[in-house]
Amino acid sequence: MSKIVEIQNAVETGKKKLIRGLIEEALAEGHPAIDILNKGMIAAMGIVGDKFKSGEVFVPEMLIAARTMKEGVEVLRPLLSRGQASASGIFIIGTVEGDLHDIGKNLVAMMIESAGFEVIDLGVDVAPEKFVEAIMANPDCRLVGLSALLTTTMPSLHRTIDAIREAGLRDQVKIMVGGAPISQEIADEVGADAFAADAATAASIAKELAA
Ligand code: B1M
């Protein structure tokens, strides 16, 4: 069995104690960190999601898979986020109100940080007014990122962007949205400036928006 498949299985079945060793072995075998992330760990989360949808696994299994993935990301972090010296600006990011998913948001934050931004991570379940307060507290901030993983929390994207507009801050910041159920169409609907499908794309779009 390839090491990547072993990593995928370990994340899928929540083998948190094994993940660090498996990743170190995969790296020693020459597998690139980005393949371990995408083909191993992110693919595993997709399988877990499909199994949850079909009733084969439940919330506790999703949770232990998520914890295993987080542990794995920590091993890869130094390899994926080689920080750049240039300061690209401040990027405020958070998962929108009602939504507790943070793995994707954390990966986006990591890649954006490695693209030279100072990242202010507001965490999960972030109310619209918290985004507004954070922008006000950081008047140099030009970029805001909103992550949403649930179809039920997509309206929170809208509410957050509305709150930023109502606070008179909409012209000050460009807003990027992303997350599994989000598309360019939804980004347009909620009035965002940009959509990114994955963390690497988010980092390159952030650089374009900041230019
Ligand atoms: Co939940 N969950 N979950 N979950 N969960 C999903 C999202 C789901 C698709 C599973 C399914 O049914 N197939 C489903 C949503 C269905 C829907 O709305 N259409 C779902 C559900 C239903 C739920 C609950 C409601 C379950 C329940 O309680 N009955 C509940 C909701 C809790 C809440 O938020 N209020 C719930 C809970 C949880 C856990 C807490 C157990 C756990 C999260 C743990 C954590 O994050 N700390 C969890 C997990 C792990 C998942 C799945 C299995 C994996 C999510 C993940 O981490 N993916 C997920 C299934 C799936 O996504 N296929 C599922 C890996 C991650 C790297 O990908 O987050 O997509 P992703 O991020 C990507 C891109 O989307 C993008 O870049 C990232 C990296 O490439 N991206 C951005 C993300 N944010 C971005 C922001 C950007 C740009 C790009 O700009 C700012």
Q: What would the pLDDT profile of 26-54 be if each residue is shown by its tens digit?
A: 999 999 999 999 999 999 999 999 999 99
28 alpha carbon to ligand 1 midpoint, in Å? 30
Out of 35, 41, 48, 62, mutate this one to test ligand 1's pocket (max ligand atoms within 8 Å of CB): namely 62
Query: Residue 62 pLDDT > 90, yes or no?
Result: yes
- How far apart are the C-alpha atoms of 98 and 126, rounded to whole Å? 8
Query: Residue 86 pLDDT > 70, yes or no?
Result: no
Query: Residue 1 pLDDT > 90, yes or no?
Result: no
- How far apart are the C-alpha atoms of 203 and 112, rounded to whole Å? 5
Tell me, what's the pLDDT at 82? 67
Tell me, what's the pLDDT at 85? 52
112 alpha carbon to ligand 1 midpoint, in Å? 20
CB within 6 Å of ligand 1 — which residues? 42, 45-46, 48-49, 52-53, 59, 62-63, 65-66, 93, 98-105, 107-108, 145-147, 149-152, 176-181, 196, 198-199, 202
Q: What would the pLDDT profile of 91-140 be if each residue is shown by its tens digit?
A: 999 999 999 999 999 999 999 998 889 999 999 999 999 999 999 999 99
Tell me, what's the pLDDT at 13? 97
| Count of residues making up the chain | 211
Give the list of residues 6+ apart from residue 31 with CB closer than 8 angstroms, or none.
3, 4
Closest ligand 1 atom to residue 66 Cα is 50
Tell me, what's the pLDDT at 37? 94
Q: What would the pLDDT profile of 150-198 be if each residue is shown by its tens digit?
A: 999 999 999 999 999 999 999 999 999 999 999 999 999 999 999 999 9
Query: Residue 83 pLDDT > 70, yes or no?
Result: no
- Continuous H helices in the chain: 3-12, 16-28, 33-35, 43-53, 59-80, 103-114, 128-137, 154-166, 184-190, 199-210
